[in-house]
């Protein structure tokens, strides 16, 4: 896994992880209506998918 991470630019993965953290904070601490929550979950899923894809 160490070698897989080296193929992804450090700044790119850092930005993705920061975005994931933001979405998690929104889900945990923001008072979202159901539509906003679905949007946040969708964005989080997209970011997680992008991280997974960049690791292949």
pLDDT for 11 equals 81
| Total-model pTM | 0.79
Domain residues for the domain of 27 are 2-54
Least confident of 10-14, 16-20, 22-26: 10-14
How many distinct structural domains can be found in the chain?
1
DSSP 31: -
Is the pLDDT assigned to residue 18 strictly greater than 50? Answer: yes
pLDDT in tens, 31-55: 999 999 999 999 999 999 999 888 7
SS3 state at 9: coil
User: Could you tell me how many residues make up the chain?
Assistant: 56
Compute how many other C-beta atoms are within 10 angstroms of the C-beta atom of residue 47: 19
* pLDDT for the residue 1: 46
How far is CA 21 from its chain centroid?
7
């Amino acid at each position: 896994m160490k070698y897989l991470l080296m193929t992804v630019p450090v700044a790119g993965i850092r930005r993705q992880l920061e975005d994931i953290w933001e979405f998690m904070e929104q889900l945990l601490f923001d008072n979202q209506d159901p539509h906003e929550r679905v949007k946040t979950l969708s964005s989080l899923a997209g970011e997680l998918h992008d991280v997974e894809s960049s690791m292949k």
